[in-house]
Each structure stands twice: as structure tokens, then as C-alpha cells.
Amino acid sequence: MSEKALPEHARQVNRSLILRTLFRCEAMSRADLARATGLTRVSVSRIVDDLGAEGLVRETGPSPEGRVGKPSTLIALNPDAYHVVSLDLSAYAELTGAIMNLDGDVVHTMTVPTRGARGTALLDKVCDLAAALVKRSTVRVLGVGIGSPGVVGADGVVREAVAFHWHDLDVAAAVSAIVPVPVHIANDANAAALAARTYGQPSAEDLALVRIGQGIGSGVIVGGMLVTGPRYTAGEIGHVLVEPGGEVCRCGRRGCLEVVAAVPYVRQRLADDPSSASEVLSRAGRALGEVMSPVVAALGLEQVVVSGPLDIVGGVFLDEMRAAIDLHSLAIVTDDLEVRVAVRGDDIVLLGGTALVIAEELGIR
């Protein structure tokens, strides 16, 4: 690192620290910000002035505390300083995009049917949707965040998305070529996990988010950071064996978690015998709990968040999952564990795209 790069790097770190602190609270005075971040008053004032000039923070008025002397001015993050364009590619039949503000509030959504497009034809649709939303935004766009099925590298390359016929396809580069802002992409379950970390109520630094859909995937966050593994396959729990000798899975083996708990299999069983609903959902929730229990124990997670159709993952599914985790773990591991259904499960991948962009571009995580 050159001598000049050091102060610039420190400035970026301190700027992110201030943004992150303001993101987590309503409003703070400069003195409170200095106390919360450990930075000097002078540093805080200089960074806040810069952020104010950029429009990222604004003064919201005097502190309400009745102190003697001049009241301090409160500073707050301006959630509409930038907007983010977020894409969810995980629905297969359609691509969904949204313009969101920094708080994750939806400003506008757009949906495009895929009409069976695969390969580069599908990539063209993704590019068009991103470009249309960036163009439509009336507020400057901080970046484009994409949640895609499959194995996605940190370099923006989709290594493998079988259903899309994507192999080593540089999706981020293709979208970057037609929009004038940074583009970031993550696996859809990983994006959803980032959403749970950044926008969760309560938020957590150590959590797993499980997506129950056409398949099953999860995103794991430890110490606030996404765990990807060297091959970007961390969280791929769908084909963990849960019922030896069970039903044949699309991977060619038998008894995977997916054949017990993924949406198409569960829906089929519910349609075949509606009176078995409780048993079908119990079995699915229990299997997921058995798969997640060693993950929770090994990593000391504080939350397991499940996202999927509420008629499947709510109720008995969630109860049985919790019971299975408890049964397979020491009480001290699970006493404080929160097992819950994701808030905003329907647009959690979109929210994840926004979380990805504000983490990469502003250091808010």
C-alpha cells in the first residue's frame, strides 16, 4: 500500500463506521457519534460535513434533551440520498426488479416473464430489466444488486445455474456494460441472508437463512460476514441425506432434504392426500431441523430464519423444525436461539440485493 493510500483507506473505514452507526439508529448528535464510534469530535465533524455535502446525512433539528447551554444538532441518515436497483432471478417463470431506498422501502417494481428463455437470451432480459429500472429511477442510483439461483462467485461470475443453462457466465460484467453504476450479484439464498442481517428485526450477526422454494438453499452469516467457502457452495444444504432409501431426487440420489421439504414435493403430497397435511408438514420441518441442528451447534448461531410460502413454512413446519433442533442440541446451544419465519419473505431476495449494494458501496452491514 502506498503512503498516500493509507489515510484514504482510513477515511473510507471511518466514513463506513459513521454510516453504519447512523443506519442502526434514528438520529444522533456529533458528540454521541464520537462516543459510539470512538472517533474524535474533529474527525466526526469532518466526515459528517462530507456526508452532508453528498446528501447522505442531514440535520434533523436540535436534540430534545433539556441540557443547559446550546442544544446539539441531531444527524440522521437520508434513506433517499440514493436508490438501489435490485433484481430477483429466483422465480424461474419471471424476473422481478425493484427500485428501493437505502431503508429497503420499495419505490417501484417491475416484473418480466422469462417465457422459457435460457442462456444468453435470459441474460439479455436481465440486462434489459436492470437498464429499464436504472433509467426509471428519479433519484441517483447507488448500484444494481442481483440475487441469482446457482453457485455465484465473488467476482460476479455465475459458476453454475443449471436451470438457466448458465455456466461460468459473467453476469455482473454483462449488466455493468449497459448501466453506469456498480453491479453486485450473489446467490439468492445468500442475498436473503444479507437482508436478514441488515434489515432483520431484530438484526443478527450470526444467522442462517433457509429458502424453501423449488429447491432448498441457505445463506450463513458468521460475525456479520457471509460464509461462502472457497467454491462458493456454502449453504448448499438441499441434497443433504435425511431419509436413507427415500424418494428419488433430481440429483439422482435418494432421500435428500429437497424431496422431503422443497415446495413442489410438499405441494404434491398435500394434493394427493389433504388429510395428511399435518404429517407432511411435520416431516418436512423435522427434516430441516435435523439438518440445521449441527450447523447451529457448530457455529453458535443466534437465529435461524426460514423464507418460503407461509402456508407451508408457518405453523407446524416451524414448530417441528424448532423441536428437532432442540432435540439434537444441548440446551445451552439453543436456549437463546430464535427460529422464525422471514419478515417480508416475498421480496426478501430483492431486499438482499439492496443489502448487498449498500454493504459493498457504503460499508453498511
Instruction: Measure Cα distances from 8 to 2, 21, 38 in Å.
Output: 10, 20, 18
**Is 256 among the residues that bind Zn ion (CB under 5 A)?**
yes
262 near Zn ion, judged by CB under 5 A: no
- Whole-angstrom CA distances from 102 to 117, 167, 196, 198, 323 are 32, 32, 15, 11, 37
Measured from the CB of residue 239, what is the shortest distance to Zn ion in angstroms? 4
Gap between the Cα atoms of 90 and 93, Å rounded: 9
Q: Where are the alpha helices (DSSP H) in the chain?
A: 5-23, 30-37, 41-54, 119-136, 171-176, 188-199, 257-261, 263-272, 277-299, 310-313, 316-327, 331-334, 348-362
Q: Annotate each residue in 27-66 with x if it binds Zn ion (CB under 5 A) or - if it does not, as one string.
A: ----------------------------------------
Residue 6 or 251: the one with the smaller Cβ distance to Zn ion is: 251
Q: Which stretch binds Zn ion (CB under 5 A): 68-76, 129-137, 228-236, 242-250?
A: 242-250
Cβ closest to Zn ion, residue 185 vs residue 259: 259
Query: How many residues bind to Zn ion according to rule CB under 5 A?
Result: 4
Among 169, 237, 240, 249, binds Zn ion (CB under 5 A): 249
CA distance 146 to 357: 9
Candidates 31, 84, 83, 26; CA nearest to 58 is: 26
- Which region, left, alpha or beta, applies to residue 248 given φ > 0 means left and ψ of -120 to 50 means alpha? beta
Least Å from the CB of residue 248 to Zn ion: 9
Q: Which residue type occupies 358?
A: I
CB of 249 to Zn ion, least distance (A): 3
Do the Cβ atoms of 288 and 320 come closer than 8 Å? no
- Give the sign of the dihedral formed by CA 193, CA 198, CA 199, CA 204: positive
Phi, psi of 111 (to 5 degrees): -125, 135
Helix H or strand E encompassing 72: none
Q: Of 83-91, 255-263, 312-320, 343-351, which segment contacts Zn ion by CB under 5 A? A: 255-263
Stretch that binds Zn ion, among 109-117, 239-247, 266-274, 302-310 (CB under 5 A): 239-247
Q: Which of 15, 83, 125, 239 binds Zn ion (CB under 5 A)?
A: 239
Instruction: Report residue 302: phi and psi, to 5°.
Output: -100, -20
Nearer to Zn ion, 48 or 257 (CB): 257
Min CB(255)–Zn ion separation in Å = 8
The gap between the terminal CA atoms of the chain, to the nearest Å, is 25
C-beta of 290: minimal distance to Zn ion in Å?
Answer: 16
Nearer of residues 162 and 310 to Zn ion, judged by Cβ: 162
Q: Which stretch binds Zn ion (CB under 5 A): 5-13, 18-26, 42-50, 245-253?
A: 245-253
> Quick one: which of 225, 251, 310, 327 contacts Zn ion (CB under 5 A)?
251
Closest CB 217 distance from Zn ion, rounded Å: 12
Q: Does 154 bind Zn ion (CB under 5 A)?
A: no
Chain residues binding Zn ion by CB under 5 A are: 239, 249, 251, 256
